[in-house]
């Protein structure tokens, strides 16, 4: 029920009904007893109907408000406004939706589209069984492997830049950050790779892609004797599907002019070519002798060891300085492919940084870049 519906229905009542209710008193009106009984029934019926409309309206508003509240919480947690992130997209919240899938917002972190949704109803026993026997799965139309739908898992949206492990800690974090028991609503985050988005857009022949989410009950699948996860998921009742247009990547490139950093302890030189920086990720581009061979399958890991340490040093110890005097480290690399003549060290984090406010980038005493 829309928030405006209650007011509209009350405004639509005939004036004579309202006036009758306003002066209802046997001593003040000249009507037959039958008329009085009829009026009593009418007023009681009206009162019950109004109470029902108000109750439905409160429920609908509670469901609507949790979506709006989650959007505000997401923006605050991701530091969207304070970091001036222009690639963040927030979607219109439905005025009424009792259950199912609601698209909240999305942003491109350089490697993936991070899509935030609410799903409901989710009972408490489902939360209690997560993540041991319960998972949440998503797929895109057109995203297949060997002709079968390819499903990926979504996770409850917890506070950024925290790490939890163990059932009790995870359960507490989900209840604190992602689950609203009163509306049985859970906020999920889907990491959809940019490659998967390109594949889905080609399949749809459109910029828009079709996202479906469902509940994956591992225990129920095992009890049913169904071995294929795709077969099980394709036959489950999903939370629903939404169409959305992925947001563009927001990136700034810093050219270091092939500066060379010498590590005295390792007695090795590494060339730091440049940095691709987004609000949520970084790619450090470095080069050194033998780098291509070290990143091939079956490479000599003993010989690569010192260079691996040096790669980590660039990612972890380099500092990005902002105008307010604060500094930021991109942290260790999650992937380090060798492409186009450089080792491309990809790092990611939870909350955004303001890539337009970078003043200096340094590694120890070496200034890699400085605003002019």
| Range list of β-strands (E), the chain | 89-90, 100-108, 112-120, 134-140, 144-145, 148-149, 152-156, 179-180, 185-193, 209-217, 240-244, 252-263, 268-277, 281-287, 319-322, 327-328, 338-339, 342-348, 358-363, 366-370
| Domain extent listing, the chain | 5-69, 85-244, 252-370
Q: pLDDT tens, 245-277?
A: 999 889 999 999 989 999 999 999 999 999 999
pLDDT score, position 93:
84
CATH of domain 85-244: 2.60.40
- Given a contact cutoff of 8 angstroms between Cβ atoms, the answer to whether 328 and 319 are in contact is yes
Q: pLDDT tens, 189-239?
A: 999 999 999 989 999 999 999 999 999 999 988 888 887 887 888 888 789
Distance CA 102, CA 147 (A): 29
Mean pLDDT of 365-371: 96
- Given a contact cutoff of 8 angstroms between Cβ atoms, the answer to whether 89 and 106 are in contact is yes
Q: pLDDT tens, 29-69?
A: 344 444 444 544 555 554 444 444 443 344 444 565 899 99
Distance CA 63, CA 65 (A): 6
pTM (two decimals):
0.80
Task: Give the position of tokens 């925290």.
Answer: 162
Diameter of the chain measured on Cα atoms: 108
Q: pLDDT tens, 141-174?
A: 987 777 777 899 999 999 998 889 999 999 999 9
The answer to whether the Cα torsion of 359, 323, 349, 363 is positive or negative is positive
Distance CA 13, CA 53 (A): 14
Q: What is the DSSP letter of 177?
A: H
pLDDT score, position 24:
34
């Amino acid at each position: 029920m829309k928030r405006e519906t209650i007011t509209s229905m009350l405004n639509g009542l005939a004036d004579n009904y309202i006036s009758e209710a306003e002066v209802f008193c046997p001593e003040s009106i000249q009507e037959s007893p039958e008329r009085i009984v009829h009026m009593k029934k009418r007023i009681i019926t009206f009162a019950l109907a109004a109470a029902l409309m108000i109750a439905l309206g409160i429920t609908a508003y509670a469901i609507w408000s949790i979506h709006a509240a989650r959007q505000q919480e997401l923006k605050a947690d991701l530091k969207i406004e304070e970091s001036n992130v222009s690639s963040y997209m927030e979607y219109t919240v439905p005025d009424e939706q009792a259950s199912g899938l609601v698209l909240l917002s999305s942003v491109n972190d350089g490697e993936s589209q991070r899509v935030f949704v609410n799903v409901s109803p989710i009972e408490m026993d489902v939360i209690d069984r997560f993540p041991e026997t319960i998972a949440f799965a998503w797929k895109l139309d057109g995203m297949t492997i060997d002709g079968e739908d390819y499903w990926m898992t979504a996770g409850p949206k917890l506070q950024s830049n925290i790490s939890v492990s163990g059932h009790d800690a995870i359960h507490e974090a989900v209840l604190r950050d992602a689950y609203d028991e009163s509306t049985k609503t859970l906020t999920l985050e889907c990491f959809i790779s940019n490659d998967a988005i390109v594949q889905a857009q080609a399949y749809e022949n459109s910029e828009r892609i079709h996202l479906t989410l469902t509940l994956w009950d591992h225990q129920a699948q095992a009890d049913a004797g169904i071995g294929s996860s795709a077969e099980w998921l394709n036959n489950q009742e999903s939370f629903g599907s939404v169409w959305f247009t992925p947001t563009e990547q927001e990136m700034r490139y810093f050219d270091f002019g092939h500066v060379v950093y010498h590590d005295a302890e390792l007695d090795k030189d590494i060339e730091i070519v440049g940095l691709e920086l987004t609000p949520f990720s970084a790619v450090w581009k470095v080069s050194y002798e033998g780098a291509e061979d070290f990143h091939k399958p079956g490479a000599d890991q003993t010989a690569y060891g010192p260079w691996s340490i040096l790669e980590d040093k660039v990612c972890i110890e380099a500092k990005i300085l902002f105008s307010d005097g604060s500094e930021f480290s991109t942290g260790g690399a999650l992937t380090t492919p060798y492409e186009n003549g450089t080792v491309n060290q990809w790092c990611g984090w939870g909350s955004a940084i303001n890539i337009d406010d970078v003043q200096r980038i340094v590694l120890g005493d070496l200034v890699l870049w400085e605003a002019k």
